[in-house]
Amino acid sequence: MQNRIQKIRILSYLLGTALCLSPMLLSAKTIMIVGDSLSAGYGISLQQGWVHLLQKRLDQQYPKQHKVVNASVSGETTSGALARLPKLLQTHRPDVVVIELGGNDGLRGQPPIQIQKNLAQLIQKSQQSKAKVILFGMKIPPNYGTAYSTAFEKNYVVVSQQYKIKLLPFFMQGVAGQKSLMQKDLIHPNAKAQGILLNNAYPYIKASL
Protein backbone atom coordinates (compact mmCIF):
# COMPACT_ATOMS: atom_id res chain seq x y z
CA MET A 1 0.00 0.00 0.00
CA GLN A 2 2.80 2.35 0.94
CA ASN A 3 4.62 1.63 -2.34
CA ARG A 4 1.46 2.42 -4.27
CA ILE A 5 1.04 5.77 -2.52
CA GLN A 6 4.69 6.58 -3.23
CA LYS A 7 4.23 5.78 -6.93
CA ILE A 8 1.16 8.01 -7.10
CA ARG A 9 3.12 10.86 -5.51
CA ILE A 10 5.95 10.43 -8.01
CA LEU A 11 3.55 10.36 -10.96
CA SER A 12 1.76 13.44 -9.64
CA TYR A 13 5.06 15.28 -9.32
CA LEU A 14 6.14 14.35 -12.84
CA LEU A 15 2.79 15.38 -14.27
CA GLY A 16 2.93 18.71 -12.46
CA THR A 17 6.45 19.36 -13.72
CA ALA A 18 5.42 18.55 -17.29
CA LEU A 19 2.46 20.90 -17.07
CA CYS A 20 4.69 23.68 -15.77
CA LEU A 21 7.26 23.21 -18.52
CA SER A 22 4.89 22.62 -21.43
CA PRO A 23 3.76 26.27 -21.91
CA MET A 24 7.41 27.32 -22.14
CA LEU A 25 8.23 24.56 -24.62
CA LEU A 26 5.13 25.19 -26.71
CA SER A 27 5.69 28.94 -26.82
CA ALA A 28 9.25 28.79 -28.14
CA LYS A 29 9.30 30.12 -31.70
CA THR A 30 11.71 30.77 -34.55
CA ILE A 31 10.94 34.06 -36.26
CA MET A 32 12.43 34.57 -39.72
CA ILE A 33 12.63 38.04 -41.23
CA VAL A 34 12.66 38.02 -45.03
CA GLY A 35 13.34 41.59 -46.04
CA ASP A 36 15.49 44.04 -47.94
CA SER A 37 17.96 46.72 -46.84
CA LEU A 38 15.51 48.10 -44.25
CA SER A 39 15.87 44.86 -42.29
CA ALA A 40 19.39 43.92 -43.40
CA GLY A 41 20.75 47.04 -41.69
CA TYR A 42 22.15 48.85 -44.71
CA GLY A 43 24.59 51.60 -43.73
CA ILE A 44 24.60 50.70 -40.02
CA SER A 45 26.04 47.86 -37.96
CA LEU A 46 23.94 44.72 -37.57
CA GLN A 47 23.87 45.30 -33.81
CA GLN A 48 22.10 48.63 -34.40
CA GLY A 49 19.44 47.22 -36.71
CA TRP A 50 15.83 46.69 -35.65
CA VAL A 51 16.08 42.92 -36.18
CA HIS A 52 18.92 42.63 -33.68
CA LEU A 53 16.97 44.88 -31.31
CA LEU A 54 14.00 42.54 -31.75
CA GLN A 55 16.07 39.58 -30.51
CA LYS A 56 17.22 41.62 -27.52
CA ARG A 57 13.67 42.60 -26.60
CA LEU A 58 12.41 39.03 -26.93
CA ASP A 59 15.30 37.81 -24.77
CA GLN A 60 14.30 40.35 -22.11
CA GLN A 61 10.62 39.41 -22.14
CA TYR A 62 10.96 35.69 -22.90
CA PRO A 63 14.49 34.65 -21.81
CA LYS A 64 16.08 32.10 -24.16
CA GLN A 65 12.74 31.14 -25.68
CA HIS A 66 12.71 32.72 -29.13
CA LYS A 67 15.19 32.81 -31.98
CA VAL A 68 15.23 35.49 -34.68
CA VAL A 69 16.72 34.60 -38.06
CA ASN A 70 17.55 37.57 -40.27
CA ALA A 71 17.27 36.35 -43.87
CA SER A 72 17.18 39.88 -45.27
CA VAL A 73 19.40 41.05 -48.14
CA SER A 74 20.06 44.62 -49.20
CA GLY A 75 18.58 45.29 -52.64
CA GLU A 76 16.28 42.27 -52.39
CA THR A 77 13.15 42.10 -54.53
CA THR A 78 10.06 39.93 -54.21
CA SER A 79 11.27 37.73 -57.06
CA GLY A 80 14.72 37.36 -55.52
CA ALA A 81 13.26 36.38 -52.17
CA LEU A 82 10.89 33.96 -53.87
CA ALA A 83 13.88 32.12 -55.33
CA ARG A 84 15.60 31.94 -51.94
CA LEU A 85 12.58 31.12 -49.80
CA PRO A 86 12.28 27.31 -50.23
CA LYS A 87 15.81 26.72 -48.95
CA LEU A 88 15.33 29.21 -46.12
CA LEU A 89 12.16 27.45 -44.98
CA GLN A 90 13.82 24.06 -45.15
CA THR A 91 16.92 25.21 -43.28
CA HIS A 92 15.35 27.27 -40.50
CA ARG A 93 11.83 25.77 -40.24
CA PRO A 94 10.41 29.04 -38.90
CA ASP A 95 7.21 29.27 -36.89
CA VAL A 96 6.73 32.88 -37.98
CA VAL A 97 7.76 34.49 -41.27
CA VAL A 98 7.87 38.28 -41.54
CA ILE A 99 7.80 39.52 -45.14
CA GLU A 100 9.25 43.01 -45.52
CA LEU A 101 9.58 43.36 -49.27
CA GLY A 102 8.36 45.23 -52.31
CA GLY A 103 10.11 48.56 -51.89
CA ASN A 104 12.87 47.77 -54.38
CA ASP A 105 10.33 46.39 -56.84
CA GLY A 106 8.45 49.67 -56.65
CA LEU A 107 11.55 51.83 -57.00
CA ARG A 108 12.39 49.86 -60.15
CA GLY A 109 8.92 50.42 -61.55
CA GLN A 110 7.94 46.77 -61.61
CA PRO A 111 4.29 46.15 -62.60
CA PRO A 112 2.13 46.16 -59.44
CA ILE A 113 0.31 43.01 -60.52
CA GLN A 114 3.62 41.12 -60.71
CA ILE A 115 4.61 42.37 -57.26
CA GLN A 116 1.26 41.18 -55.97
CA LYS A 117 1.74 37.73 -57.49
CA ASN A 118 5.19 37.42 -55.96
CA LEU A 119 3.95 38.48 -52.53
CA ALA A 120 1.13 35.95 -52.82
CA GLN A 121 3.58 33.15 -53.61
CA LEU A 122 5.85 34.14 -50.72
CA ILE A 123 2.87 33.92 -48.39
CA GLN A 124 1.64 30.65 -49.87
CA LYS A 125 5.01 28.92 -49.56
CA SER A 126 5.41 30.13 -45.98
CA GLN A 127 1.93 28.96 -45.01
CA GLN A 128 2.50 25.61 -46.68
CA SER A 129 5.48 25.16 -44.35
CA LYS A 130 3.05 25.71 -41.42
CA ALA A 131 4.46 29.15 -40.55
CA LYS A 132 2.39 32.11 -39.49
CA VAL A 133 2.96 35.05 -41.84
CA ILE A 134 3.13 38.77 -41.10
CA LEU A 135 3.30 41.25 -43.98
CA PHE A 136 4.89 44.68 -43.69
CA GLY A 137 3.32 47.23 -46.01
CA MET A 138 5.42 49.75 -47.91
CA LYS A 139 4.93 52.99 -49.80
CA ILE A 140 6.94 54.61 -52.57
CA PRO A 141 7.77 58.27 -53.31
CA PRO A 142 4.93 60.32 -54.84
CA ASN A 143 6.96 61.13 -57.96
CA TYR A 144 6.01 57.69 -59.33
CA GLY A 145 2.51 59.01 -59.91
CA THR A 146 -0.74 58.58 -58.02
CA ALA A 147 -2.00 55.65 -60.08
CA TYR A 148 1.17 53.60 -59.63
CA SER A 149 1.55 54.48 -55.94
CA THR A 150 -2.05 53.56 -55.20
CA ALA A 151 -1.81 50.24 -57.04
CA PHE A 152 1.49 49.47 -55.30
CA GLU A 153 0.13 50.11 -51.81
CA LYS A 154 -3.10 48.24 -52.53
CA ASN A 155 -1.10 45.06 -53.18
CA TYR A 156 -0.44 44.60 -49.48
CA VAL A 157 -4.07 44.99 -48.52
CA VAL A 158 -5.24 42.59 -51.24
CA VAL A 159 -2.86 39.73 -50.39
CA SER A 160 -3.21 40.13 -46.62
CA GLN A 161 -6.98 39.83 -46.92
CA GLN A 162 -6.77 37.00 -49.44
CA TYR A 163 -4.54 34.86 -47.21
CA LYS A 164 -5.95 36.12 -43.89
CA ILE A 165 -2.66 37.33 -42.46
CA LYS A 166 -1.73 40.31 -40.29
CA LEU A 167 -0.68 43.45 -42.15
CA LEU A 168 1.42 46.26 -40.72
CA PRO A 169 0.10 49.02 -43.02
CA PHE A 170 3.35 51.01 -43.30
CA PHE A 171 6.57 49.71 -41.78
CA MET A 172 8.32 53.09 -42.12
CA GLN A 173 5.61 55.01 -40.25
CA GLY A 174 7.17 57.82 -38.21
CA VAL A 175 10.50 57.46 -40.02
CA ALA A 176 9.90 58.13 -43.73
CA GLY A 177 10.27 61.80 -44.58
CA GLN A 178 12.10 62.60 -41.32
CA LYS A 179 15.57 63.77 -42.33
CA SER A 180 16.94 63.37 -38.82
CA LEU A 181 16.07 59.66 -38.97
CA MET A 182 17.39 58.99 -42.44
CA GLN A 183 20.84 58.41 -43.88
CA LYS A 184 22.28 60.85 -46.40
CA ASP A 185 20.57 59.06 -49.30
CA LEU A 186 17.19 59.87 -47.68
CA ILE A 187 16.09 56.31 -48.48
CA HIS A 188 17.56 54.21 -45.69
CA PRO A 189 16.81 54.81 -41.99
CA ASN A 190 19.75 55.54 -39.73
CA ALA A 191 20.59 54.03 -36.36
CA LYS A 192 18.32 56.45 -34.47
CA ALA A 193 15.32 55.22 -36.46
CA GLN A 194 15.74 51.55 -35.59
CA GLY A 195 13.90 51.77 -32.29
CA ILE A 196 10.89 53.28 -34.04
CA LEU A 197 10.91 50.52 -36.65
CA LEU A 198 11.05 47.95 -33.86
CA ASN A 199 8.12 49.58 -32.09
CA ASN A 200 6.15 49.52 -35.35
CA ALA A 201 6.85 45.84 -35.87
CA TYR A 202 6.83 44.44 -32.36
CA PRO A 203 3.07 44.36 -31.58
CA TYR A 204 2.47 42.27 -34.71
CA ILE A 205 5.33 39.89 -33.98
CA LYS A 206 4.46 39.53 -30.29
CA ALA A 207 0.83 38.72 -31.19
CA SER A 208 2.03 35.87 -33.42
CA LEU A 209 3.80 34.22 -30.47
Which residues are annotated as catalytic? 37, 185, 188
Cα separation, 52 vs 148, in Å, equals 33
What DSSP string runs through 27-88? H--EEEEEE-HHHHTTTS-GGGSHHHHHHHHHHHHSTTT-EEEE---TT--HHHHHHHHHHH
DSSP letter for 203, please: H
End-to-end CA distance of the chain: 46
Residue 207 amino acid letter: A
User: What DSSP character marks residue 132?
Assistant: E
DSSP class of residue 186? S
Yes or no: say if 119 and 78 are a contact pair by the CB < 8 Å rule.
Answer: yes
